[in-house]
Amino acid sequence: MSVEDIKVEVRTGWSDVPAADLCLRIIDFLAARREDELRMLTFRELSVAAGVDDVDAELLTAVAILRNLSVLDARALLVDADEMEYEIDPSDLAEAHLTGELVHPHTGELVENYAGRLVPFFVPTKRFLAESNSV
C-alpha cells in the first residue's frame, strides 16, 4: 500500500473522525523525512508533526489509527534508577504486560514499578518506510 493509498484510506475510513486530519499531517511529516530522522518519535514530536499544541485525546486517536494502518509501531525506553536508558524489545514489553514483571535488559533483575519507568515512543513501520522511499 503506497503512502497515497494510506492517505486515501484515512480520508475514507475515518472521514467523520476529527483525528483524521492529524493522521494526514503526520503521514506527510513522516514521508518527508529521512529514516534516520524518524528513529524515536515521542508524543511531543508527533504533536508538532500534527500541528497541535498538546498531546490530547485527538492526537492519541490519530496515533491509534496510524498504528492500526501499520504506519507506526510502538516502542518503549526503560529509564532505570540510575537514569540509564534502555530500549525494550517489543516482545519483552508484551510479556511484561502479560506477567506484570519486566526484567532489566542489562542487569537481569526485576524492575520495580516498571510501568512508571517506561517512556513510549514510535517508529515508522518497515513497510511504511519502504513505501515512502519508493515514491
Residues 33 and 57 occupy one common structural domain: yes
Residues 66 and 20 occupy one common structural domain: yes
Residues 9 and 65 occupy one common structural domain: yes
Residues 115 and 127 occupy one common structural domain: no
What percentage of the chain reaches a pLDDT higher than 90?
Answer: 93
Mean pLDDT within 35-50: 95
Residues 97 and 53 occupy one common structural domain: no
For residues 7 and 10, what is the distance between their CA atoms, to the nearest angstrom?
Answer: 5
**103: which strand partners?**
110
Mean pLDDT within 12-18: 93
Q: Which pLDDT tens digit goes with each residue over 82-103? A: 999 999 999 999 999 999 999 9
Residues 27 and 90 occupy one common structural domain: no
For residues 92 and 133, what is the distance between their CA atoms, to the nearest angstrom?
Answer: 30
Contact between 124 and 132 (Cβ < 8 Å): yes
DSSP states of 12-74: HHTTT-THHHHHHHHHHHHHTS-GGG-S-B-HHHHHHHHT-SS--HHHHHHHHHHHHTTSEEE
Residues 40 and 105 occupy one common structural domain: no
Residues 66 and 9 occupy one common structural domain: yes
pLDDT of residue 133: 74
For residues 35 and 58, what is the distance between their CA atoms, to the nearest angstrom?
Answer: 26
Q: Calculate the average pLDDT of the chain.
A: 93
Cα-based angle 107, 110, 115 (whole degrees, multiple of 5): 115
- Tell me which H or E stretch contains 120: strand 118-124
Q: Which pLDDT tens digit goes with each residue over 19-38? A: 999 999 999 999 999 999 99
For residues 132 and 135, what is the distance between their CA atoms, to the nearest angstrom?
Answer: 6
**Domain range enclosing 31:** 3-73+122-133
Q: How many domains would you assign to the chain?
A: 2
For residues 49 and 47, what is the distance between their CA atoms, to the nearest angstrom?
Answer: 5
